[in-house]
Structure 1
Amino acid sequence: MADPTDRPGLRAALAESPPLWWSILYFFSLLTGYYVLRPVRDAMGASSDAVAVFPRAWVAWVEARGQDIGDFTLQVLFTGTFLVMLVLQPLYGALVARFPRRVFLPAVYAIFIACLFAFFLAFHYQVAGRGIVFFIWTAVFNLFAVTVFWSFMADVFDNAHAKGIYGYIGAGGTVGALVGPTITRVFAERVGVANLMLVSIGFLCVCLFCIFKLRPWALKREHERGEASGERAMGGSVWAGLRLVARVPLMRAMAMLMFFGVGVGTLLYNEQAKIVRNAFGADAAGATTYFANIDLAINLFAITLQLFVTRWLLRRFGVGPALLIPGFAVLLGFCMLAASPFPMLVAAVQVATRGGEFGLGKPGRETIYTRVEREWRYKAKAAIDTFVYRTGDVTFVWLHKALALFGSQVVFLAGVFIAGMFTLGAWRVVRLQGTLPGASKPGDTRP
């Protein structure tokens, strides 16, 4: 595989690196399929129709005690997601440890496709309580499907190639993240929410085809580098991922970065959900369209970074600025919100925060995994991207519930501290990744 850093531009990179075509199509299809579903999930989280979100028995039990379960919708949803992730983490560890890559990669997506067929029926027949199951499942789908994708990319590409093309792969995903909510925005009220599940299934089938096409390139890279083949099961404990996070300083720093990154995102998400609940009430279609518009703005910003900034920044300066710039941007955004917590400013900081994460932070972190052992990128990475992520979710969603009693300004004052810890985590990752093999000095673009 030729070095795509030798010649500038997306066209040159595609010409020099055939697997880049399939990687971009893979990530495009994956995020299109997810973002078709995300506005539906967000509308469920912001819905004031308790029966659509929770089983009737739950609603009746809470009402009998003089409470409204709708006052704790996001807290219940995020706690349920954390508990499910706690159960699934060792199951994923067992799948990775006992089966070769050619088995567990397709298996992950096949399971998600089967679940979407079940949700098609649940939404078609308006099954009570469908919201909580769909919200939790979508969160699980997003984390596991995306972390498996990037782990596979680290099998296909080495560090030098990652710096040159991960921005482009991310841009392919961002295009999918633009197409997905556009599909939902146009068709949600015309064809109904249930049929959106079938659209997502179609895109996941394309992902399976791309996995098949990329497999020979992963084998080739492993052979050239003298690495253990991913066609053999890794073995080891099902809890190996969490043990690596606890034992390895770099993985601990990555976990810290993830935990507090989730914290700033969760505070913003909850404030946004409160605004939507007040504005749309039980109008699920209207809320779905609103969230689709926010996602469009986020992804337009992200793709601008990915196409025109990320590649240059990674090659010229390494991962440092890609991780630190989003940290300082979030810190500034929360300082502004603490001073003036206006709804439009909340939306603007949400766009800047998530756009910076997708455009800079995510590609920067993922290049680091090309330089670590395979067990680290499949097990430790999965533990950070799923378990640590959802631990942050459940921690900060309840913290927000307590802070919200004192108003938005207090929420964002606490957010300034959390944003500071996020920036500190980014600095620790930048410092520790420099000790890995293949670390380059700023401006060194050689493979």
Structure 2
Amino acid sequence: MTDADSSASHYAHLRATLRERPALAWSFLYFFFLLTGYYVLRPVRDAMGAANDPSAVFPVAMVDWFAARGIALGDYQLQVLFTGTFFSMLLLQPVYGALVSRFPRRVFLPVVYLAFVACLAWFWWAFEVRLPGRGGLFFIWLAVFNLFAVSVFWSYMADVWRDSEARRLYGFIAAGGTLGGLLGPQLTTLFVTRVGVANMLLVSVGCLLACLVCIVALAPSARAREGADPSVRDEAAIGGGILEGLRRIASDPLLRALAMLMFFGVGVGTLLYNEQNAIVRAMTAGDPAAAEQATAFFSTIDKWINWLVLLLQVFVTRVVLTRWGVAPLLLFPALAIFVGYAILAAAPLPVLVAVVQIVTRASEFALNKPARETIYTRVDRAARYKAKAAIDTVVYRGGDLTFVWVHKALAAFGSVVVFASGMAVAAAFFVASWRVVREQAKLQDRP
């Protein structure tokens, strides 16, 4: 069979699957609207993190309190924001655990998304009136929104699809998110300088309401899959304690390996993010339209990332998952990131930082993440909704908190030291990836 015949057969199969399983189309649309809404907001968040005016990011009283003690809060802007994000995760994780424990999916999923809509409505007002400290609150809130909303999405997909289906279809579902990731920053680039930051938030409100429609449409498919499992009572709450997710991570070798993979994967990304942030702050210093210019710059980076992600998802992810499983998708990104850091250690040029950032984030979204998510289709619901949520939130932001302060310490010695240290973090990322590959291979032997 020729490559053309294989491609035609491949897409004919996809069309047949869409006709037979409308859940695939709803899953695609769910992720599309979710990431469109997120990527409309992400450049705004990154611009707040790179702002040169601390009073736009932190409350005036907080800036004055630190200044009175000889500390320029702007010099520690990202460190303070990432620290606030981490502690917000610690406070909200038990709340999420309580929702999952006590309420069935049909209740807590809409509640989570409606809460996000209400928050966006408040932020629209805060940006409209230029409320002092709005930037820091929005930075932290969007980080929380991204991790909880995306984590819930993939947990829901694991309810809808079996492992064999996930290997075939997750690449296409993820491509829906990638298209949303392309559309979101494009909308921001085109309209933020015309309508302002505040009105861009209303676009995300519409996208989240569309996600609610998709959640309702997918409910019958999730119930059908649960009905085939005699150990799961239809639409039942998962039960257990609110901190059960953290206990499961501590006791389960696979979940521990996934947590380490997340921690060091975040580490390589955070080091790069901080270098990129320093470049943008220098680039926009003294610019009266700095927020809009920085937002447009970050949206351009996001567009390049998502184009690369789309190509990988369409032509690589599904083929590799179905033929060779998760191992190549977990191990190759760690190797590529290690090589990227080695190049930056030898030549720490700003343009290379942007290129390695694009490769790092694209390999995470297109390769590493789909591989991790297919593993969660083979574990129980408590692991999917509780342990996974803890890994995607507390462990993720714990990595952010750790490496944002590590970067602050290393930056005093120059970019070469930062990137050389990044090579060590990338090596640890590879070891964690190998442990996940080894532990997930044992799943078929579990009861």
Q: Which band: TM-score by shorter chain?
A: over 0.9
For 1:92, the equivalent position in structure 2 comes to 96
What is aligned with 1:430?
Answer: 437
Structure 1 position 64, deviation (Å): 2.0
Cα distance between partner residues in 2 of 1:331 and 1:10: 36
CA distance in 2, matches of 1:302, 1:230: 36
**1:72-83 alignment, distance < 5 Å:** 72-83=76-87
Cα offsets for 1:149-176 (capped at 9, x unmatched) = 0000000000000000100011000000
Partner of 2:351: 344
Contact in 2 for aligned 1:100/1:230 (Cα 8 Å) = no
Distance (whole Å) between structure 2 residues aligned to residue 273 and residue 207 of structure 1: 31
> 1:189 aligned to 179, 182, 193, which one?
193
Equivalent residue runs for 1:194-343 within 5 Å: 194-229=198-233, 231-281=235-285, 283-343=290-350
Change (3 A) 1:230 1:191: farther
The aligned amino acid for 2:381 is R
1:59 Cα offset (Å): 1.1
- 1:366 partnered with 2:370: no
How many residue pairs end up in the alignment?
A: 435
2:144 is aligned to: 140
Tell me by how many angstroms 1:331 deviates. Answer: 0.8
User: Matches of 2:332 and 2:15 in 1, distance apart?
Assistant: 28
Q: What percentage of residue pairs aligned between the two structures are identical?
A: 60
User: Which amino acid is the alignment partner of residue 270 of structure 1?
Assistant: N
Superposed displacement of residue 227, structure 1: 4.2
- 1:163 alignment partner in structure 2: 167
Does structure 2 conserve the Cα–Cα contact (< 8 Å) formed by 1:159 and 1:438? no
Q: Which residue of 1 aligns with 2:3?
A: none
- 2:25 aligned with 1:18: no
C-alpha distance in 1, partners of 2:17/2:85? 39
Residue 387, structure 1, aligned to residue 403, structure 2: no
Counterparts of 1:432 and 1:341, CA distance in 2: 37
In the other structure, the counterpart of 1:442 is: none
* CA–CA distance in structure 1, aligned partners of residues 75 and 23 of structure 2: 48
Matched residues in 1 for 2:445 and 2:308: separation? 31
CA distance in structure 2 between the partners assigned to 1:401 and 1:227 by the alignment:
49
Rounded Cα–Cα distance in structure 2 between residues aligned with 1:350 and 1:270:
11
Q: Secondary structure at the match of 2:228?
A: helix
CA distance, structure 2, for counterparts of residue 249 and residue 6 of structure 1: 36
Letter of the aligned partner of 2:301 in structure 1?
Answer: I
The farther-off stretch of 261-270 and 227-236 is: 227-236
Structure 1 stretches of 4+ moved >3 Å: 5-10
Report the secondary structure of 2:62's partner residue. helix
1:406 to 400, 413, 423: 413
Kindly provide the amino acid, as one letter, of the partner of residue 62 in structure 1: F
- Which region of structure 1 is more displaced relative to structure 2, 246-255 or 54-63? 54-63
Q: Is the 8 A contact 1:43 1:287 kept in 2?
A: yes
Q: Deviation of residue 235 (structure 1)?
A: 1.2
Aligned to 2:41: 37
Cα distance in 1 for partners of 2:411, 2:396 equals 22
Q: Is the 8 A contact 2:227 2:234 kept in 1?
A: no
Q: CA deviation at 1:13?
A: 3.5
How far residue 232 of structure 1 moved from its aligned partner, in angstroms, is 1.1
Residues of 2 paired with 1:10 and 1:143: CA distance? 29
SS in structure 1 opposite 2:444?
Answer: coil
Q: Deviations over 1:293-340 (max 9, x none)?
A: 000000000010001110000000000001111111111111111111
Q: For 1:186 and 1:317, how far apart are their aligned partners in 2?
A: 41
Distance in 1 (CA, whole Å) between partners of 2:38 and 2:263 is: 22
Alpha-carbon distance in structure 2 between the residues aligned to 1:357 and 1:144: 17
- Change beyond 3 A, Cα 1:6–1:176: closer
Partner of 2:6: none
Structure 1: stretches of 5+ with no match in the other structure: 440-447
**Aligned equivalents of 2:163 and 2:234: distance in 1?**
18
Q: Could you tell me how far apart the structure 2 residues matched to 1:102 and 1:43 are?
A: 36
The structural deviation recorded for 1:233 is: 1.1
- In 2 relative to 1, CA 389–120 (structure 1 residues): closer, same or farther, beyond 3 Å? same
Report what 1:61 is aligned to: 65
| TM-score, length of structure 1 as denominator length | 0.95
Letter in structure 1 aligned against 2:332: I
With the length of structure 2 as denominator, give the TM-score of the two structures: 0.95
1:210 & 1:55 partners in 2: Cα distance? 38
CA distance in 1, matches of 2:250, 2:445: 24
